[in-house]
Amino acid sequence: MNYRFDWTPIWEQRDLILSGLWMTIAVSLVSLAISIVIGFVVGTGGASGSRSARLGAALFVDTMRNIPLLIHMYIWYMALAFLKLPAFACAVLGLSLYSGAYVAEVVRSGIGAVRRGQMQAALATGLTRIQAFRFIIYPQALRIIAPSLASLFSQLIKDSSLASVIAVAELTYEAGAIEGQTFRTFEVYITISVLYLILVTVASQLVMLVPGARNDASSARFADA
């Protein structure tokens, strides 16, 4: 092994790395927000009593999940190029639809895990359906699915690296640029790996701050889903 380590070019390019890191966080946060909305809408549909809602939700989930994320991004960026969406929007749309399907499955199983009597009791006390979901079902489901959500969100952050292929200047993209200029291949990629590791760890710890998520015994079942 006669590779000579030289980390100084990485330090000199820290502005690029930081701006990439910031872009990764931005892409992830926006996609996260949209995929939560998609996930809750579709997941609630999938758990509902209506047959057509369940069918629609299953169709959405199966289609979105079984198409590779890379293809999602290329579809928005190349196939639907006439929409003239900026690369950032294409990355966010691709990521949100893809992850949204995963969130939907988790939400559906979470709602299913809340005992049926809870809904009946809520309706019996005079709450509307929306209020019942808002105040009774979602808080309990959220507690159960928090570990699964945490792993989905860390997945999402890592998946955002694919945005680099449609020229979104996030962490992986900047790493490629720095590598091209300095040829410090190993140092660059190890640096961004560590940065991703930190981001993912922080993000999953934040999700676990959901009240009661940590010490809810029933949540353990879903931890590896």
Partner 1 sequence: MLDVITRNLPFLLAGLWTTIHLSIWTIVGGTLLGAVLGILRYVRFPVLGTASMLFIEFIRGTPLLVVLLITYFALPALLGYKTTAYNAALLGFILFTGAYIAEDFRAGLRSVRPGLIQAGLATGLTRWQVLRFVIAPQATRIVIPSLFNQYVRLLKFTSVASIIGVTELTGAALLINARDFHPVTLLGAVAVTYLVVCYALSMVGRVLYARFAVRT
Binding site for partner 1 (CB under 8 A): 1-3, 62-63, 65-71, 74-75, 78-81, 154, 158-162, 164-165, 172, 175-176, 179, 185-186, 188-190, 192-193, 196-197, 200-201, 224
Choice between 185 and 218, CB closer to partner 1:
185
Instruction: Evaluate the CA torsion angle 89, 104, 70, 52 in order and state its sign.
Output: negative
Decide whether 122 or 149 has the Cβ nearer to partner 1: 149
Q: In this structure, are residues 38 and 103 in contact, taking their beta carbons and an 8 Å threshold?
A: yes
Q: Name the residue nearer to partner 1 (CB basis): 93 or 122.
A: 93
What is the token pair recorded at 183? 């040829």
For 77, the token pair is 């960026």
Q: Which is nearer to partner 1, 11 or 135 (CB)?
A: 11
Smallest distance, partner 1 to C-beta of residue 93, A: 14
The secondary element (H helix, E strand) that includes residue 87 is helix 87-113
CB 74, min distance to partner 1, A: 6
**Tokens encoding 48:** 């509902």
Residue from 65, 32, 23, 26 nearest 167 by CA: 23
Closest CB 162 distance from partner 1, rounded Å: 6
| Minimum CB–partner distance for residue 122 and partner 1 (Å) | 32
Across 61-93, b (16+ Cβ under 10 Å) vs e yields: beebeeeebeebbbbbbeeeeeeeeebbebbbb
Distance CA 109, CA 128 (A): 22
Q: Which is nearer to partner 1, 111 or 188 (CB)?
A: 188
Write down the least CB distance from residue 114 to partner 1, Å: 23
